[in-house]
Amino acid sequence: MHMAEREAEGSSEPLKLKLSKEGEAAAELKVNEEQQCNGSSTTWTPSSWTTKPIKQDVVYTDGVAVKNALAKLECLPPIVTPAEIVKLRKSLQEVALGKAFLLQGGDCAELFDYCEANAIDSKIKLLLQMSLVLIYGAYKPVVRIARMAGQYAKPRSSPTEIYDGKEIPSFRGDILNGYDVEERTPDPARLVSAYFHSASTLNYIRASLASGIADLHSPLDWELGHVKDQKIKAQYTRIVDSITDSLRFMKTVGADSPASGLETVDIYTSHEGLLLEYEQSLTRRLRHPASHPSHQPSQLPGSIPPNGGTKKLSEVSGDGKGWYNTSAHFLWIGDRTRQLDGAHVEYFRGIENPIGIKIGPTMMASDLVSLLDIVNPSKSVGKVVLITRYGEHKIDSLLASHIRAVRESGHVVVWQCDPMHGNTKSTPSGVKTRQFSSILSEVGSALRIHKEEGSFLGGVHLELTGEAVTECVGGSEGLTEGDLGLNYTTYCDPRLNEKQALELAFLVAGHYRDEGGR
């Protein structure tokens, strides 16, 4: 550790660690209400986002505390590795080419309190069970990405809210402030706490996978007693029986050896890249693994820029390294922060990680193509996941034009449906909820429209939990608005419970079975 010999005026805490120049730029931005933007430079660095206008920003009151937090983050080890990131990129390329399916799910916003064994186990098991159903239905491998180990920040429609007649900061997620009224002031120390909770969560996930939590030799809990519709229950029972029989057959013929891959799977982590000071601090220039397309270009179609294409910084540097965000395997830009000239797009265009972009009803087709050109100028296949979130009543008027625009641009992306965010409503008493039938409707519309356009839906993006919460109404359990108070625990948006999430997987699998696995 390098001790700084200066102490900021007006702060009781000295600057403990040496902060990089990039970190200084980010810290300076985070304590100044007046942002100075100069977007003339085209050179990307981990801190070049600080020269761009930014949405969903947060301003801290203690400048030295911000610098201490960022300096600490800069010296901590990576949470994920380049080899894992590149492996996910290759898997997403398979999804983009129609050879695999992407399942992404987890909490709307993680709480630090969710970093405990039972909460993590329940989500892992649910994702594994859903993926097995989807494999059965689609006849394709499933790539699993969890909204875990870092999804601690949430964009809000307003930075403040009225509580007891007073204006206070909105709850922005545990990485920024607490839900309790007395903890609403943004605290930069929470950035460091988010790192350690992320690292602990991922460490436990890795240990659980290595210890056999995903071993298909173990019995699976397919309890279907909640399904009230006997016709639907019979359909689900047939699927479960078929999966069970398939596993039993593989065991009988000896196809379940350790080399078969039935003992473990990959689960990748993801979060919205909202707090750029945090993301920048965990962005490292690291050596490419042997599996990187720069070493094996023939294995990744689209990794070589087309004529006139712009190569990424790492491809022209010649040092065999690239900028990796080591906070998670996969990050996405939210619908509120995808401005073409904004800070978030600027940051995302320079990292090696595969990235997602939320696409809402306000996205123009021309802007979508421009956005893809900025973040993926080399048109690398599967580098970008387009996460559509229109709402069940708007998807028919929007998705087809977006599909056509992207196809004509030459970009090959992963199309993923987020049927959650466009279908949120409030009850007469003001409780936020989602109707299961609306969620299912948007997924069904996405499947149909992609087929009509000669495209295909590559995956789904869900807010879910492995707990028996009562936050979304409908489904085979028959939950109503009157049931919401039974176990409504979310601090942000309503999530599918384990039965509703599994039911959605059954229904999607049934669609693919009816289509002959296509």
Binding residues for phosphoenolpyruvate: 147, 358, 389
Cβ–Cβ under 8 Å, residues 324 and 331 = no
User: Token match 């989602």: residue?
Assistant: 434
Pull the structure tokens for residue 462.
């869900």
Q: Sheet holding 424-426: strands in order across?
A: 424-426, 432-435, 472-473
Cβ–Cβ under 8 Å, residues 108 and 463 = yes
- Rounded distance between C-alpha atoms, residue 79 and residue 325, angstroms: 9
Radius of gyration of the chain (CA): 23
Of the candidates 111, 110, 104, 108, the residue with the CA atom closest to the CA atom of residue 126:
104
In 10 A of CB 412, how many CB atoms?
19
Question: What is the amino acid identity at position 400?
Answer: A
In 10 A of CB 342, how many CB atoms?
20
For the annotated binding site, the residues are 108, 147, 358, 389, 421, 463, 493
In a 3-state reduction of DSSP, which class is residue 75? helix
Evaluate the CA torsion angle 279, 285, 286, 287 in order and state its sign: positive
Bridge partners, 267 (sequence order): 144
In a 3-state reduction of DSSP, which class is residue 360? coil
Pull the structure tokens for residue 293.
């397309």
Of the candidates 359, 369, 298, the residue with the CA atom closest to the CA atom of residue 334:
359
The secondary structure of residue 394, as a DSSP letter, is T
Q: 230-252 and 117-138 helices cross at what angle (nearest 10)?
A: 90
Pull the structure tokens for residue 58.
């947060």
For the annotated binding site for Mn(2+), the residues are 108, 421, 463, 493
Pull the structure tokens for residue 123.
């989500």
Cβ–Cβ under 8 Å, residues 488 and 431 = yes
